[in-house]
C-alpha cells in the first residue's frame, strides 16, 4: 500500500514537472521544390521559404503550368521568408496570397517583378530593401490592408499603379 502511494506520488510529481517543460513542435514540410536557381519549401505553419543563390523562375498570374509552383497553397500561405542570396522576386510570385501577413525581403534582392504581391489582401506593411531601384506595375496592387510602406531613396522609379488599391496609396 505504501509502495503504491510512492508510485502515485512520483507519477504526480513527474506530471507537474512536465507541465513546466516547454514543448516545441517543429513545422512539417508540406511541399518543396525548385524555381529558377533557388529552392522553396512550404510548411504546416503556413510559412513559405525561398532560399538559395540567384533568382526565381518566371511565372504567370493564371492557374496554368507557368504559375508559381506554390500557387496551390496560395490561400494557406501566411508568411513568406526570402533568405539572403535570393536576387529576384519573379512577376506574379505571390499573386493572390490573400492570407499573407508578413514578408521579409533581404538586401540581396535587387528586383521585384510586376504583380509580385498583387491581391495579398492581408499584407499590412512592407519594407523595400535599398538594393531595389524600381517598383513595377501593380507590384503591391490591391493589397487592401497595406498601410505602412518604407521605400528607400535608392528607388528611383515607381510605376503609377504599383500601390493601387492599397490603404497606403488611398491615404497619402
Tell me the average pLDDT of the chain.
90
Q: What is this structure's pTM? A: 0.82
Q: Using 50, 70 and 90 to split pLDDT, how confident is the model at 22?
A: low
pLDDT of 19 higher than 70: no
Cell of 132: 531595389
Encode 146-172: b = buried (16+ Cβ within 10 Å), e = exposed.
bbebeeeeeeeeeeebbbbbbbbbeee
Looking at residue 147, what DSSP letter applies? Answer: -
Predicted pLDDT at 15: 63
The tens digit of pLDDT for each residue in 53-111 reads 999 988 876 655 678 999 999 999 999 999 999 999 999 999 999 999 999 999 999 99
What is the DSSP code (8-state) at residue 72?
Answer: G
* pLDDT score recorded for residue 4: 77
Q: Which of 130, 124, 33, 35 is nearest to 79 (CA)?
A: 124
Amino acid at each position: 500500500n505504501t509502495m503504491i502511494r510512492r508510485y502515485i506520488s512520483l507519477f504526480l510529481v513527474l506530471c507537474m514537472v512536465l507541465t513546466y517543460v516547454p514543448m516545441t513542435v517543429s513545422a512539417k514540410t508540406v511541399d518543396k521544390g525548385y524555381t529558377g536557381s533557388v529552392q522553396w519549401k512550404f510548411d504546416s505553419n503556413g510559412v513559405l521559404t525561398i532560399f538559395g543563390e540567384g533568382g526565381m523562375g518566371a511565372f504567370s498570374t493564371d492557374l496554368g503550368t507557368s504559375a508559381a509552383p506554390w500557387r496551390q497553397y496560395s490561400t494557406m500561405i501566411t508568411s513568406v521568408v526570402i533568405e539572403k542570396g535570393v536576387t529576384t522576386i519573379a512577376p506574379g510570385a505571390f499573386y493572390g496570397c490573400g492570407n499573407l501577413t508578413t514578408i521579409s525581403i533581404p538586401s540581396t534582392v535587387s528586383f521585384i517583378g510586376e504583380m509580385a504581391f498583387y491581391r495579398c489582401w492581408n499584407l499590412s506593411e512592407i519594407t523595400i530593401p535599398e538594393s531595389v531601384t524600381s517598383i513595377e506595375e501593380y507590384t503591391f496592387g490591391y493589397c487592401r490592408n497595406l498601410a505602412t510602406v518604407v521605400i528607400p531613396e535608392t528607388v528611383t522609379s515607381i510605376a503609377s499603379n504599383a500601390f493601387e488599391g492599397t490603404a497606403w496609396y488611398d491615404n497619402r
